[in-house]
Amino acid sequence: MWGGRFAEGPSAVMREINASIPFDKRMWRQDIRGSQAHVAMLGKQAIVAAEDAARIAQGLEQVAAEFEAEGVPDDLSLEDIHMLTEARLSDRIGPVAGRLHTARSRNDQVATDFRLWVRDAIDQVEAALDTLQDALLARAEEHAATVMPGFTHLQSAQPVTLGHHLMAYFEMIGRDRSRFADARARMNLCPLGSAALAGTGFPLDREATAAALGFDGPTRNSLDSVSDRDFALEYLTCASQCALHLSRLAEEFVIWASQPFGFVSLSDQWSTGSSIMPQKRNPDAAELVRGHSGRITGALVSLMMTMKGLPLAYSKDMQDDKPPVFEAHDLLGLSIAAMTGMVESATFRAERMRAAAEAGFSTATDLADWLVREAGVPFREAHHITGRAVAKAEAGGVRLDQLPLDALQAIDARIDERVYDVLSVDASVSSRTSFGGTSPVRVREAIAAARAMREEDGR
């Protein structure tokens, strides 16, 4: 393809290090789409004769059918998917295939293909995250009133409901979807027509090409067009943040599935056994999701380092932009699917959750709040009084709501029998009625609002 300048061919090592076909062949559909739009515009603008443009378009359909049926071969001599597609086209329709590359460089071609691929990847992630949110909503609704301990520092803090806990992840995933949508909107400009770096003298209709490929318009600077990989970095940034959220949920499942907690039993579909210990039931799917977050974040750092310090416009370093994006996308898709399956099929053990919530003095804040509200005690003093009550209950091996009234009044005479209305875990969660709180009433309202918003958005 570029041998006219060179007397000798590349060495075997050069051929291998220079070739990207083993990984960029994943973009063959996008490469065909970009070429179809380009040649249609060339024909319309009379840059290429109409009959030649029609032959090229027909030949591209044939090449696409072959790739679909037979796959894309790793032909290192043709370097990349762009040269391979053009070579296959030449085999089918002869020398007229050479007209396809008029007013186009591999620089703007790959920039366009890669944007198309990342855009398609975002659409796939969006659909997968939508399904995960469906699962979270369904299980949250099922457990809107299921009491469990809420934690800070992994220590029992205050009672919450499982529905409230799951809705926290619904919110996280919603922010992830918003970030992906923002990234998609920002990247949706078409580089095709920027050529190598300076534009072209041919009378292109870049607006038509952009519209044919579903872009909002053409990019505005040819130098930036061929050297920009912000869209790939943004995709990886969004993927990394999403992977961190998935990892946090996975860690919850790992902890909850352990015998000391026993809050959840994962289905056989999402568990493995041990080669030596017959009793084991390992949450390997959750652990792998947790592990994948490191590899996805590593992909972001990898591409950042590749792009660091590159002068305008295109440099061969940028050939290494695609492997980290491809790997991260594959891992993210697996992680979302795995977490969706675990959420959908998990058996939550409500009785264990309730027992843990009752065992950790998690209603201590309710006692302090009662003293403030009913006895007019300043909160700092109420905090101190409650701490003494917790110490007495702990010494006696009982819950706060099991302390007799005389024991509480011995700590502070302002406490009366009404305090028992707030010391149970059910009373505690029911009292948290502030907007966004854990009260089952508020949880069900949040679920209803989420469903209504999704219906408005057509989800």
Angle at 252 between CA 176 and CA 452, to 5 degrees: 45
- Residue of 258, 267, 274, 315 with catalytic role: 274
Q: Is 101 a catalytic residue?
A: no
- Give the HSE-up count for residue 446: Cα atoms under 13 Å, Cβ half-sphere: 27
Two tokens at 308? Answer: 């660091």
Q: Which amino acid is at 18?
A: N
Please state whether 376 falls in left (phi above 0), alpha (psi between -120 and 50) or beta.
Answer: left
How far is the C-alpha of 161 from the C-alpha of 408, rounded, in Å? Answer: 28
| CB-based contact 148:354 (threshold 8 Å) | yes
Two tokens at 380? Answer: 């700092």
How far is the C-alpha of 454 from the C-alpha of 134, rounded, in Å? Answer: 10
How far is the C-alpha of 342 from the C-alpha of 287, rounded, in Å? Answer: 12
Count, in order, helices (H) and strands (E) of the chain.
18, 4
How far is the C-alpha of 241 from the C-alpha of 262, rounded, in Å? Answer: 29
Looking at 174-312, which runs of residues are DSSP E strands?
A: 264-265
β-strands 347-348, 155-161 pairing: unpaired
Q: Is 153 a catalytic residue?
A: yes
Q: How far is CA 354 from CA 158, 325, 341, 361, 390, in A?
A: 12, 43, 25, 12, 19
| CB-based contact 368:384 (threshold 8 Å) | no
How far is the C-alpha of 60 from the C-alpha of 273, rounded, in Å? Answer: 50
Residues 6+ apart with CB under 8 A from 124: 329, 333
- Residue of 11, 153, 383, 428 with catalytic role: 153
Whose tokens are 């090449």? That residue is 63
Q: Rg of the Cα trace of the chain?
A: 30
Residues marked as catalytic: 153, 274
